[in-house]
Structures are given as structure tokens and as C-alpha cells.
Structure 1
Amino acid sequence: MPIRELVGIKTRLDPLGRIIAMLVTAMCLSLLAWLSPVHAAPNRMTASLVAEGPVRPGETVTLALLMQPEKGWHGYWSNPGDAGFGLTVEWTLPAGVTAGDMQFPVPQTLVVQGLMNHVYEHDYAVLVPLKVPSSARSGTLLPIRVKAQWLVCTETICVPERAELQGAVSVGTGPADPRFEGWRAAMPAPLDRPGAFALESGTLRLALPFPATAPLDAPHLFLKTERVVDYAAPQRFFRQGDTLVVEVPLAKSPATASRLEGVLAMGRDAGGIAFAAEPGTVPKGGTQVGAGAFSASVLALALAGAFLGGLILNVMPCVFPILSLKALALARGNAHEAHKEGLAYTAGVVLACLLLGGVMLALRAGGEQVGWAFQLQEPGVVAVLMLLAVAITANFAGLYELPGLSVERGAGATGAFGTGLLAAFVATPCTGPFMAAAMGAALVLPAWAALGVFAALGLGLALPFLLLGFVPALRRLLPKPGKWMERFRRWMALPMGLTALALGWLAWRVGGATFTVVLVAIAVVLLGALAAVGVTQRKGLPIGRLMALAALIAVGGVIGLPPPAQTAASEGGLLEARPFSEAALAEARKAGKPVFAYFTADWCLSCKVNESTSIERESTRAAFEKAGVVVLVGDWTRRDPAITRFLTAQGVAGVPLYMWYPAGGAEPRQLPQVLTPDMLAALPGQ
């Protein structure tokens, strides 16, 4: 088994599996150290033992284990994170000489294939205090030996390495090595007071003494105590006077701890502080800081984006037929009925959006990596939507009448409310522009503000019908009722039928061929049952039993569907795109090449429009080929935690997302969600 896979096991087997994996890894490293051949390959990370200088009898001198990885390789902090293995040492010291605990500099984060690693991608020094006995004689040399083992990795492979280091400490006086000043500066500064922590609702809440005037740019909490928190989960930071409150989701099976230790990194090149915390009271509230900070402007933009996105959904093929027929039904009623139906329809739409958004937030709070339209990544939900689209298409085509919830004639406030729920639910296959950024902002907003964003989405979707219900002048623009309405309803079966076909194709993409064949068979049987309902209706006979049978066919069919097959990720195309991974992105950037990374899904209509009009174009291919652009595609059709984390890190909760990384490692750019035909071809020349 490759070491990377071996180390990665500890994230999948929790908690006992992690312990076993760590023991197995340690044994493998030991065996490799004992059995390594004489002509072993040179280490990818050079280690050396350095003493700060001479030491007086009875005092302490600092040693440094200087670790120097080759370019593209990295070592690990004392708690390596989701994967990896930290530095271990075995000292051989003169009598009376003792070595203290290793002190590590502030680490950095590295996410590889969805795993959070705590690493060093540069030279670093691990400092160790060495206590010399008072009996030591001045002018003597104290020999020091240490056997060190570590794991050094790139983003694709890991190599266990070892070294036997030797040195000597002079007893006496003399100059100190000037390098230690810089190495000490890289160490986290210890807090002079302990913090307090509490475990609440699946979240670690930590309060640390931190001056209100101290700068805090891009903080990150590194917990030295292992297996307590979800290392890759988003972290939130709040200032409350001279206290900093940190919130981090717990691991799925968190270890118990009576004391926590760790490091708070305060941002790029800003250093960090080392802390210890004990159980206690953690204050609530405060002003959020960092990447997830709440502000009125962020909320306003999110509300506007969600509202516009919902408004655009009305012209999507899965919503427009329902809306148009329901709107024409208002021409049959009076103003009072129109008011009631407009409000009821709006209530149904907003409630459905709040429920979908609330479920997404609850799943994320529980540790699941999901984003907006997460339900379309589940084959079972796609199957339900397809059968629903088939049933609506049959209704529009006149195969049967939908009792109580008629979309072509008024059915009162209750029917309008149900239609609103239905419209919002079937709108989920049609993800429009503006929505991804708005939903991404919702992920970092407080819960109440995030729910406001989802409500704004529903209000935008419901607005046209709401205006028709309350503005008589708009209702007067509607055509007068007549026989033509029945023909119009028949024509509206065409876009709904196309929606059903699109959902069938999506079922094949997320569930595989066998899954789709069985689903189509269930749809055919359901159509037969609905046809029987229509015949019985036209005879004026009761249809309750037949409708129950049709519902049983749909529900039982979805429950009895075969397990979905594993599907391959999207790649290739005119641009010869490769599947996205953070390792592939890092490799291309380290090589100095420009990178275009785009994230799509088969259920994302705006994604497919952009791909056909702007991405899969000969002019784009020629420009990218000339500039040596590496193209990566992240297929989010099925749930992918690594892609979800990357989307969240870019401030969005869904697709499409388009990222441009210029050559030479320059700062990346997030491109608009609506691409123009020549936008991409012009990128290499900018």
C-alpha cells in the first residue's frame, strides 16, 4: 500500500481506526529504518543538528533540528492534520543531560484531495531545550546524538526518511549562533493566561485572551490536541473586547479532552500565539472577523443576488409552464381571489426555499460537505423529480386532471400554496446566474441572515405571480379566457416534457445505465396509471383508488431502484481538460503555467450554456494551446467533498465557478458567472 494511502486511512476510520493507522504507520517507518539498504536514495529533506552556542554548568542551551525540504516537498507539524506523520526523535545524551519537548514554528495549511494537512513547505527549525547539569566542567564537550524519523511529501507521494545526527555542546562561554534569533521569531508566542473551551452542538467554542487592538488578518486555529475537531471545516472568529472566540466544528467522533493546546496563526507572515485552554465559560456574540466576517454590505449583495437569481428562474423551462398557466388562471377570478392566490403562491415558494436552505445549513453544521442544489447530486432525488416532471407533463397534455391542485384553473388559496411549493421544488434543476455567489455568501453569514438570503431567492421566484395578483393593470394585459387556453396548456407540455427528458439524462449521469432503465420503466407504468385516472375522470367516476395506486407506483418505484453506479468524472472536450484536484492545480502552478479551472454540473443549465458559447470554442482552444494553458474541470454532478471545500474557500456555494490563474504564480482571478464568447480567449494576453 502506498504511504499516502496508508496515512490517509486515519481520516476514514475514526477514532479507533485512526489510532491503528498511526501505529501501523509508525511500525512501517521503523521497519523501513531498520531494513533500508546501504545505498539508500538521498533524503528529500535534509536534517541537521545545531547548538545555539556554549552553555554554563547548570543552565539550558537550545538545540535546533534544522529541516530543509527540497522544492515541492513538505514536512509536518506535531499534529499533522488529516494525513501525514510528524517528526519523532530518540536522544542519546551524556549522563545528567536532559532534553525537553520539541517546539515547532507556526505551521501552514495545505489541502490535498480534501484532506487538511498542517505542514511546512520551506526550511524550518524545531527547537529543543537542553539542560546541562551543574556538575559539568567548563571547557569540556558534551556529545549529542539523535535518531530522527519523519515523513516528507509532495501533493502526490510521501517518503518516510530517517537520519542519525551528531553534534557537541561546549561547556563554557562564547558567542551564540545568530540564526537562532530568526528561528525563535518563527515560534508562536505563548499566552500568559489560559483560555477556556466548551463543546456545544457539535462545535468547539474556544475563548482566548486577545487584545482588541491587536491586528488579526486571516486567522487559523491549529489544535495540537488530536482528533477533537474537523481540521478541514470552516472556522469562525469573533472579537468581544479583549477576548477572541473561535468556533470549529467537531470531528464526527471527537476524542475527549480535559485540556486543549494549540496555536492560533494570525495571518500570512503575522506569526501566531501558543495557548492552553481548560473547560470553562465561553462568551457568545461579538464581531466576526476573518474571511467569514458578517457585514451589511455582504448581506445586501447576497440578498440582491438571490433575488435576481430567483427572478431569472421564472423563465427556465421547468418553471415557466407552471407559472404561465397559473397566471392565466387569475384572469378567471376576481381581485379578492387574485390577492389571496398571489399571497398563498408566494408563501409556498418562500417556504420551500427556506426548507431547502435550512436543510443545507443543517447538513453542513453536521459535518457534511454540501452546497446549493445538493439534492440534485443524489440519484434518488433526481428520480423523484423526473417522475414529478412526467406527471406534470401528462397533466399538461390532457392525459388526466390534477385534482385539488390544478395548474390551469384557479384552485383557491390552498391550491396556489401547493403550486408555489411545487414550482420551487421543480425549479431546483434550473440553477440560474447570480445564485452561486449569493448562496456562497449565505454559508458565511449568521443563520438568520442566511435564511434571509434563501427567502429572497423565493421572493424573486414568486414576484411575477405576486404582482399579477395585486396589480389589476397587469391582469388586464392577460388574454381573455377561452378555448385557446386548453391548446396553450397542451403546448406547455413540450417544455415540461423536455425537462423530464433532461432529468432522465441526469439520472443516467448520476446513477448509471441500469438505474436509468429501471427508472424509465417506472415512469412508463406511472403514465399507464395516470391514463387510467384520466379515463375514469372522463366517465365521472371516483378516482381515489387509482390516484393512490399511481402514488404507490411512484413511491415504491423510487424505493426499489437499484443502487446507483459509480460514474466517471467529466474530462476531455475540445480543450482536453483534466479532472480538477488541488494537487493538479498546485503542480501546474509550480511549473509556472497558466491554469483555467472551471466547475460545472450536468444539472446546471447556466454551466452548460457557458460551455457551449464560451468554453468549448475553437478560438478558446487556439488561444489556450498557444499560451500553454492547463485546463482543469471540476465535475460536481455527484457529491464531491473536495470540490465542495474548494467552492466554499472561493466564497461560493454552488456552480458555475470559473477561476483563472495567470502564469508565474500571480494572484488568481474569479471570473463572472456569465461568460461572453471571447472572454476566455483574451485571458492569456492580459
Structure 2
Amino acid sequence: MPIREMAGIKTLRIIAMFVTALWLSLAPAQAAPNHMQASLVAEGPAQPGGTVTLALLMQPEKGWHGYWSNPGDAGYGLTLDWTLPKGASTGAMQFPVPQTLVIQGLMNHVYEHEYAVLVSFKLPADATPGTLLPISVKAQWLVCTNEICVPERAELQGTITVGSGANDARFEAWRAALPAPLDRPGTFALAGKTLRLALPFPASATLETPHLFLKTERLIDYAAPQRFFRNGDTLVVEVPLAKSPGPATSVEGVLAMGKDAGGIAFTSAPGAVPSGGTELGGEGTFSMATLGLALLGAFLGGLVLNVMPCVFPILSLKALALARGNSHDARAEGLAYTAGVVLACLLLGGVMLALRAGGEQVGWAFQLQEPGVVAVLLLLAVAITANFAGLYELPGLSVERGAGKSGAFGTGLLAAFVATPCTGPFMAAAMGAALILPTWAALGVFAALGLGLALPFLALGFVPALRRLLPKPGKWMDLFRRFMALPMGLTALGLGWLTWRLGGPQYTAVAVAMAVILLATLAAIGITQRKSRPIGVLAAIAALIIVGGVAGLPPPAPVTSTEEDLLGSVPFDETALAQARSNHMPIFLYFTADWCLSCKVNEKVAIETSATNAAFRLRGVIVMRGDWTRRDPKITRFLSSQGAAGIPLYLWYPNGGGEPRQLPQVLTKDMLVDLVGE
């Protein structure tokens, strides 16, 4: 489009905005229904003088869109005129990460879907408990299609209960859609006709399709191409300035990290911006090096899972079945087992990606944050332990008889599913990279994880020399199988403990009762098998116990854990982290969960030790702990901002406010002590 024509369009845009503003301020209420339905929602009750979050829920009709706080080259943002009780006040509007929409060369910052604008509301200090505080707001906005725009308004009413009570669960998802704030500011410089912006951003976190949205208006050319450069742990953004840019003493905005990947809110002050670095690709491109490292990390992580207590017994018994010579086609069984493992990993990964695309803040092992899933795993672990102990016979895990290709496939599915309580080295970074890769590449990472998990059995199936290295068949095999019940039983005990941590005592009591009933049913199946009678009815009863028992579990109890650790750590909070960093305090921040085996090993070996405690106290180190046992959107967003989708994650913030250092996922005994002394 010619420059003169573009200038004419922008002039018309300014005129249109002026007319729109005049119309919104003078026009009477419209009789026709709005194309954007707005409603005022309060998160819940609050105490006198306390703060509660309000939401302006905006629901456009299909084909229509609303605008971000800075609408871009065209459009008009949301304005609010509050009527509040005496002594009450509201905060600034908080918008979710916007989308880009280019129409005739004009860049618009829009929402083409339902979205919520959040506003904090502070109650009067003298509010009377048990009463309702009336609030109202006159909201005005512009809603558009690609062809026409309509100014709309609504007067919304609501009440706030003074006191206590349940909160609206929708606010968790609405907060998750907000950009996560950076814990330290960036810098910017105006170089010629270009805005250069430097933002702290971990080198391990890649960007799929980044876009810079500025709250600071009339500074940049919104529709111009944006360039992104990697310079260590700094992301440098270059955007052409507007034709007549306004003054800028600070620059604020949002860095969108790609489709469905969220964003980061930042502020920046004038300062030095590094030059050079590696330029990132544009739409749809990604670093092949990142993909390669993610594939390798996932493969190695899956390989390590084979020695975990929840997987090794299954693998070892399948190997012994091959050693006994019960398999007529070892290669076919190896391929079937691999197919089962890879399919299970793809399904788990696909569900995680789908949930994130739907706005859920989840990461790898998300299923272990759900009490119902853990209860299912508990019952499965109990059933497998009973099989290993000889209580009944499960053909897929039999040393005495081969299971064939279908049994091997089912065993692969089972092995991958029971591996979910286990996390190991290499996996966190690989899963973090998977979340910012294109979908097909991310699924490749999950497939690599499955291939690593399946490799030992696949190798045994294809390499006869490896099978010959296995011990000769004998009576010891049955003893070995019974011995394997020990690590599997310990896994069941661990899952029982995790059920208690997630669901509370009553929840756990019901789950354990179902496990006892399941054991009795499996014992009956074993007796029937030894009499060579059909077990179809009993097997169906066992399956119903697992499905029906979990469906009938009571609601999990709320989290009330206030346990202290040796280091006197404080719960993770981004505001507290930013405050500690502004005071130039040394900080050790770590993320853990009760279901993370490698996390617990690191805590026992390196973190929760007297030597670490003494060294940290001597240097005044602030220890901050993020517990991800249950789903926590704030922790998930922070992990994503650090390029990680899972845990463990260990960050060291040195004294003096320097850049954080990401520590290895496997900590050694003296690593933290030596770190303090650096």
C-alpha cells in the first residue's frame, strides 16, 4: 500500500476515534442489544478494609472483537466510571494477553474471544460484616468486525458481601490469562528511528512467535516488523518508531510468547541495550538446536525412568520372560511394547498441550496434581504388587507364560502410565522446551521420552546377544518376581502418602478401603485361576472397583499444610521475590512437589542438611520454596517464564541483585555450600 494512502487511512482512523469518543460520551443508551455482552462479577466476600478482585467479563458475538488497553492503529479501549460506597476504591484495569489483527495494513490489539478485565476493589474500613455493599460502573467500549465498528455502553450493577465465604472458581483461569510480571525491569534506548528494548529472559526459554505490545502509546509503528535477538539471558527487541513518536521516560508493555503460550508484563527505563546476539526466526520457525536438545533430554529422561522403583519391576519381569524363552517372536513383542509406551506418552503429552491451549496453567506431571488420578495409580500399584507377590496371575507380567504382542502392547501402556509418579534428570528442561515448540515438534519430544523408556526392552527383543547375557532360567526367577513386589509395594505406599497429602485423611481412608476390597477380589481371582476356572466375572468386578471406587471418593480436603523445614523457607511469592531482589539479598529459590522423587532426593542429600543451613544462615540467604504438589497457576506461569515445564527447578540469586543462575537438576552434597562461598 502506498505511503500516502497509509497516511490517509491513519488520518481517518484518528477522526473515527474522535467521533467514537464523542458518540460514547453524548449518545443515549442504545435500545438495540450489544454485540459485546458485559457483566460485573466479584470473586467473593471480603473483610472490612480488605481487597477483593472484580471482573468485567466481556463476551463478544462470533465475528466481533474488543480491544486491549492500547488498541493499536485503530479502535477504542474500555473505559470505566465507578460509583462506589464511601471509603471504597478501585485499582487499575488488568487485561489478559491480547492478539494481533491486521486490517488494511493497520495493526489492531484485540480479543476475538471471551475475556475478563480484572480490577482490585478495596472495601471501606468501617464496612459492617454481614452486609452487602452496592457497586455500579458505567462501561463504554468499541466492538468491531473486520468491516464495521459499533460503540457500546452498559451500566453494570453488583454487590460485595462483607465477611467470609467461598470464592468464584472462574477467577483462577482469568488470572492465568494475565501476563506474568517480570521480577526486574528492562532497559530501552531510542536509536535513530528504532526503539531498542532489552528484557531479562532466560537463555533456556525459547519463543515460538513473539510479539511486543506496548502500553506506551504513540511511540512505535505497530504494524512494522519486529526483530528479536538472543544475547545470553537477555532478549533484545527492535521495533521501528512511529512517524512522530511521543516522549518516553519509561516503556511498559507485554511480551506475548506465542499462540496459547501466555505473556510477560514488563516495565523498562532508559539505559544500555546490548548489541549483537542471535536473531530469532519469525512466524512458525523455531530453533532446530532447541528441538534437538529437547529430543535428547526427553530420550535420556525416559531411559533413566527404567531404574525408577515404579518401572524397573515391570521391565525386569518382561526381560525374564524373554530369557525363559516364552516369547516366540521377541522382535514383535519388543515393537508392541514400544508402541504401547510411546502411545501412552503421546496421549499424556497431547492432553497437556490441549489443556494449555484451553487456558489451563499445567505442566508435565499435571495429572499427579489431581487426587483422583493419584487414587487410580494407588489401586494400580496395589494390583501390580499383588501380582508380583503371587496373589494372582496377570499374563502380561507373567514369567511363566508369554503374553504375545497384545500383552506386550498393554504392558507398555501400563509401564508408561505407572511411570508418571517418577520424574528424573533431563526431563524438566525437555518438557519446558516442548511447551514452546510447534505442536508437531512437541509431540516428537513426548515420543522421544517414550522411546527412551522403551529402549531396554526393545533392545532385548532385537539383540539375541543381550538376551543371552541374562541369567539362565531357574527356580530363582519366581523368587525374583516376588522380590520385585518390594519396590512396587513401596511405590504403592508412596502413592498412599501422596493421596493423603492431596486429598486429606477422609479421602485417603476411602481410597485405602477400596484398595483392601480390590486385594480381596484379586485373591479370589488367584484362587479361581489355580483351579483353572474362568475369571471373567471377577476381573469385571475388579475393574468396577477401580472405576467406581474412584468415582465415589469424597471431595478432597483443602490444603492446610503449614509444616516448616530445616532452612526456615518462606512460600514462593513473586512480590516477595521482587522485594528481596530490590534489597539485594541473596536468594535460593526452589520448586518441589511431594510426587517428585528427584526433588525429594535432592532435598535429603543437598538442601535439608545442617551444612547448607549453617552456610545460608551465615550469609543471610533467603530461602523461598514453591510447592507444586497441587496445581498452582502462579508457579506454573513462573516455571514457563524460566523455560521449564516441570520440576525440580533451582534458582540462585546472588548477593547484590545479579542475574539468577539456574542450577542443575541433580544437586550434590556440597554444591549449595560452595555456591554461598563464591
Tell me the TM-score normalized by structure 1.
0.65
Unmatched tracts of structure 2, length 5 or more: 1-45, 61-77, 90-114, 122-136, 138-173, 186-214, 240-251, 273-278
The residue number in structure 2 matching 1:657 is: 649
8 Å CA contact 1:404–1:415 kept in 2: the answer is yes
| Pair 1:8-2:22 in alignment | no
Do residues 189 (structure 1) and 208 (structure 2) align?
no
Equivalence for 1:44: none
Letter in 1 for 2:256: Q
1:497 to 477, 489, 492: 489
State the Cα RMSD in Å.
4.1
The verdict on how the C-alpha distance between 1:119 and 1:465 changes in structure 2, with shifts beyond 3 A counting, is closer
Query: What is the CA–CA distance in structure 1 between the aligned matches of 2:412 and 2:253, rounded to whole Å?
Result: 38
Does the 8 Å contact 2:261/2:436 carry over to 1? Answer: no
Aligned partner of residue 209 in structure 1, secondary structure: coil
Residue in structure 2 matched with residue 28 of structure 1 by the alignment: 84
> Residue 624 in 1 paired to residue 645 in 2?
no
* 2:423 matched residue in structure 1: 431
User: Do the aligned partners of residues 512 and 417 (structure 1) sit closer, same or farther apart at CA in structure 2, a change above 3 Å counting?
Assistant: same
Could you tell me how far apart the structure 2 residues matched to 1:342 and 1:213 are? 46
Q: Is 2:324–2:399's contact at 8 Å kept on the other side of the alignment? A: no
Q: 1:287 to 1:448 in 2, by over 3 A?
A: farther
Distance in 1 between the 2:181 and 2:594 partners? 35
Following superposition of structure 1 onto structure 2, how do residues 54-93 of structure 1 map, counting pairs within 5 Å?
Answer: 82-83=118-119
| Structure 2 counterparts to residues 196-595 of structure 1, below 5 A | 208-210=223-225, 217-218=236-237, 235-236=256-257, 247=259, 288=281, 294-333=286-325, 337-403=329-395, 406=398, 409-569=401-561, 572-595=564-587
Please state how far the C-alpha of 1:566 moved relative to its aligned partner. Answer: 1.1
Deviations, residues 63-93 of structure 1 (Å, cap 9, x unaligned) = xxxxxxxxxxxxxxxx9964459xx9xxxxx
Deviations 1:108-145 (A, max 9, x none): xxx999954889999xxxxxxxxxxxxxxxxxxxxxxx
- Point out where structure 1 has 5 or more consecutive residues left out of the alignment: 17-21, 34-78, 89-110, 123-184, 196-207, 221-230, 238-246, 252-262, 272-285
Q: How far 1:587 moved relative to its partner?
A: 1.9
Deviations 1:368-412 (A, max 9, x none): 000000000000000000000000001111111114664664211
Q: Distance in 1 between matches of 2:463 and 2:306?
A: 18
Q: Over alpha carbons, which structure has the higher Rg?
A: 1
Quick one: structure 1 residues 353 and 211, their matched pair in 2 at CA, closer, same or farther if it must change by over 3 Å? closer
Instruction: Output one character per residue of 1:9-36: Cα deviation in whole Å (capped at 9) or x when no partner.
Output: 328x6769xxxxx999933387558xxx
**1:212 deviation in Å?**
6.8
Measure the CA separation in 2 of the matches of 1:214 and 1:298. Answer: 15
CA distance in 2, matches of 1:560, 1:232: 48
SS of match in other structure, 1:487: helix
CA distance change for structure 1 residues 492 and 502 in 2, over 3 Å: closer, same or farther?
same
Residue pair 2:183, 2:577 contacting (<8 A) in 1 also? no
Shift of the 335–552 alpha-carbon distance from structure 1 to 2, 3 Å rule, reads closer
Task: Mark the CA change 1:518 to 1:337 in structure 2 (over 3 Å): closer, same or farther.
Answer: same
Shift of 1:541: 1.4
Of 654, 663, 672, 1:680 maps to 672
Query: Residues 309 and 460 of structure 1 are in contact (CA less than 8 Å); yes or no, is this contact kept in structure 2?
Result: yes
Matched residue of 2:623: which SS? strand
Check the 8 A contact 1:8/1:83 in 2, yes or no: yes
Quick one: distance in 1 between partners of 2:328 and 2:180? 62
SS at match of 2:581: helix
Query: Given the superposition, is the C-alpha separation of residues 468 and 604 from structure 1 closer, same or farther in structure 2, using an over 3 Å criterion?
Result: same
1:636/1:579 CA distance change after superposition, 3 Å:
same
**What whole-Å deviation, never above 9, does each CA across 1:509-559 have from its counterpart, x for those lacking one?**
111111001100110011001111111111111111111111111211100
Q: Deviations over 1:421-445 (max 9, x none)?
A: 0000000101011100100010111
Amino acid at match of 1:210: P
Distance 1:639 1:677 in 2: 30
Superposed CA deviations along residues 343-382 of structure 1, whole A, max 9, x for unmatched, are 1111111111111001100100000000000000000000
CA contact (8 A) 1:537 1:543 kept: yes
SS in 1 for 2:665: coil
Q: Deviations over 1:247-276 (max 9, x none)?
A: 46799xxxxxxxxxxx999988599xxxxx
Q: Report the counterpart of residue 143 of structure 1 in structure 2.
A: none
Q: 1:268 to 1:405 in 2, by over 3 A?
A: farther
Contact 1:328 1:408 in 2 (8 A): no
- TM-score, normalization by structure 2: 0.66
- Report deviation, 1:294: 1.8
Q: Does 1:602 align with 2:602?
A: no
